[in-house]
Amino acid sequence: MSLAALLLVAGAAGLHAGWNAIAKRGGDQVVFLWLATLASTAAMLPLGLWYLVAEGLPAAVVPFVIATIALHAVYFYALGRSYAAGAYSLVYPVARGLGVALVPIVALLLFDERLSPLGTVGIVLVVSGIAALHLLPRGGAARPAAGRALLWPVITGLTIAGYSLVDKAGVARLNPVPYMLLLEGGCAVLGLPLLRARRDAVRRELRGWPAIVLAAVMSALAYTLVLFAFRISKTGYVVAARELSIVLSAVIGSLWLREGRLGPRLAGAAIVLAGVACIALAR
């Protein structure tokens, strides 16, 4: 994996772990996420429109834009339901890990992306570390029934795998900045009926609008960096290296959200970090 791609993904990982922790603290996580999507659309509008006017919208990218909007809409809803039903440090590893495991397999079939032996070892280590984080004890945090706790994180992980593959193909046809604007804008429009149906929750969440704006900016910037990384590196490597955020989520979940002991979480996070190091050295 090139240094440029690794730096893009590392920056995205830090931003991603941060905005997910902010979203977890929302009163109604689904409403919070869609309000953040509206805010990020507004933030990206000037630059995204400038690119669209300057470069146009190729017809070849339209199916990918439509597909990623649909997948991201399901992702935001499933993520919000995940955080409402389970601990941040449970939801985050399961959702992210499933994408890491699935994407290289499907990318091989769709894009003929063949991973090196070292890269394959790295991905296995990332998945193993994520599994260890899920199995480790969670201290005093209440643990919901396994089936209920894992349903929405699994759906979230499946959508992550889906939109990662769609977006790898999409940004090959359109600059990531306008692509991201169309993605965010489409999701925002799809979420309007939900926001109208939950007006009381919208009013409550808007009292904490600085957190919504911060999460929006961090989310939009994080995934834009990932889209640029997709242009210069293999999909499986990008998706796996993003899981540097797992290391941060272990710290955030323990120290900020008080979801369990830090030591055991760092042990699992260290395995993830070793996997990312292998991916960074892979070609």
Check residue 99 and give its pLDDT: 72
Average of per-residue pLDDT across 177-192 = 93
Is the CB of residue 129 less than 8 Å from the CB of residue 272? yes
Please give the distance of CA 94 from its chain centroid, rounded to a whole number: 12
Most confident range (mean pLDDT) of 154-158, 189-193, 241-245, 247-251 is 189-193
Q: Render pLDDT for 20-76 as a digit per residue (tens, 0 to 9).
A: 778 877 788 888 988 999 999 999 999 999 999 998 999 999 999 999 999 998 988
Check residue 18 and give its pLDDT: 82
The structure tokens listed for 253 are 């979940």
Check residue 261 and give its pLDDT: 64
Pairwise pLDDT comparison (3 vs 36), residue with the higher score: 36
Average of per-residue pLDDT across 171-184 = 94
Check residue 142 and give its pLDDT: 42
Is the pLDDT assigned to residue 166 strictly greater than 80?
yes
Collect contacts of 186-191 with beta carbons under 8 A, ≥24 apart: 186/65, 186/66, 186/69, 186/72, 186/73, 187/34, 187/37, 187/69, 187/72, 187/73, 187/76, 188/34, 188/37, 188/38, 188/41, 190/69, 190/73, 191/34, 191/37, 191/38, 191/73, 191/76
Is the pLDDT assigned to residue 111 strictly greater than 80?
no
When the pLDDT of each residue in the chain is averaged and rounded to a whole number, the result is 81
pLDDT band at 5 (very low <50, low <70, confident <90, very high): confident
pLDDT band at 144 (very low <50, low <70, confident <90, very high): very low
Pairwise pLDDT comparison (116 vs 42), residue with the higher score: 42
Please state which of the ranges 42-51, 62-71, 107-116, 147-156 shows the lowest mean pLDDT. Answer: 147-156
Distance CA 158, CA 151 (A): 11
Q: Render pLDDT for 212-270 as a digit per residue (tens, 0 to 9).
A: 999 999 989 999 999 999 998 888 778 777 777 767 766 666 666 565 666 666 777 77
Is the CB of residue 113 less than 8 Å from the CB of residue 105? no
Model pTM score: 0.78
